[in-house]
């Protein structure tokens, strides 16, 4: 699996939908996906249609009594794209946390002026 960004999955709503479908479940029902992602019915309908058109998501519609039930699953192509995108995001996260760590380690040295005043004159050769 190669870590690479996917412009189709990058918007946060679609990333949430795909990320949840890639979590390990085979099929996830509409209400479960909507509640877990914290989005509205209309947003889920719209974004899932985009993902379905792209061939990333498979949709199965059925009914229990009179209540319609829609189930979603990732296609093989969708799973590959999601895993690559998530790997890319994980790399970014690692890079950001590493740079934050470096900045935090550098700050005390620069921030302690008294220490600098004590250390610098001998180094510069002044009395």
Partner 1 sequence: MRDVARDPAALELLRVQRSRLADRMRLPWWYLAGYAILWALVFAGPFSSRYLPQGVPTWPIFAAAAAVACLMQWGLTRATGIKLPFRNLRYRPGRPVGIAILVVFLAASEAEFLLIRRDLIVAAIVVAALAVAAEMALLQAALRVTRRELRGGGGAA
Structure tokens at 115: 């220490």
Q: Which one of the spans 50-58, 79-87, 102-110, 114-122 is the region binding partner 1 (CB under 8 A)?
A: 79-87
- Residue 50 found at the interface with partner 1 (CB under 8 A): no
Q: Applying CB under 8 A, which of residues 45, 76, 92, 102 lies at the interface with partner 1?
A: 92
Q: Applying CB under 8 A, which of residues 16, 44, 47, 48 lies at the interface with partner 1?
A: 16
CA atoms 76, 92, 32, 53: torsion sign: negative
Torsion of CA 87, 24, 20, 56, to 10 degrees: 80
Asked if 68 and 46 touch (Cβ cutoff 8 Å), the reply is no
- Residue 44 found at the interface with partner 1 (CB under 8 A): no
Q: How far is the CB of 117 from partner 1 (least distance, A)?
A: 35
Asked if 61 and 10 touch (Cβ cutoff 8 Å), the reply is no
Q: How far is the CB of 127 from partner 1 (least distance, A)?
A: 47
Counting Cβ atoms within 10 Å, is residue 41 exposed (0-12), middle (13-18) or buried (19+)?
Answer: exposed
- Residue 76 found at the interface with partner 1 (CB under 8 A): no
Binding residues for partner 1 (CB under 8 A)? 5, 7, 10, 12, 15-16, 19-20, 22-33, 35-38, 64, 71, 79, 82-83, 86-87, 89-90, 92-93, 95-97
């Amino acid at each position: 699996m190669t870590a690479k960004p996917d412009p189709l999955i990058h918007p946060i709503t679609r990333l949430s939908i795909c990320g949840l479908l890639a979590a390990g479940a085979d099929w996830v029902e509409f209400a479960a996906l909507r509640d877990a992602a914290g989005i509205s019915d209309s947003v889920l309908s719209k974004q899932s249609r985009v993902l379905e058109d792209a061939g990333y998501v498979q949709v199965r519609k059925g009914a229990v009594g009179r209540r319609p039930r829609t189930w979603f699953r990732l296609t093989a192509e969708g799973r590959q794209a999601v895993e690559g995108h998530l790997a890319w995001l994980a790399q970014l996260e690692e890079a950001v946390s590493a740079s934050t760590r470096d900045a935090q380690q550098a700050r005390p040295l620069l921030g302690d002026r008294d220490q600098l005043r004590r250390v610098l004159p001998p180094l510069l050769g002044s009395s």
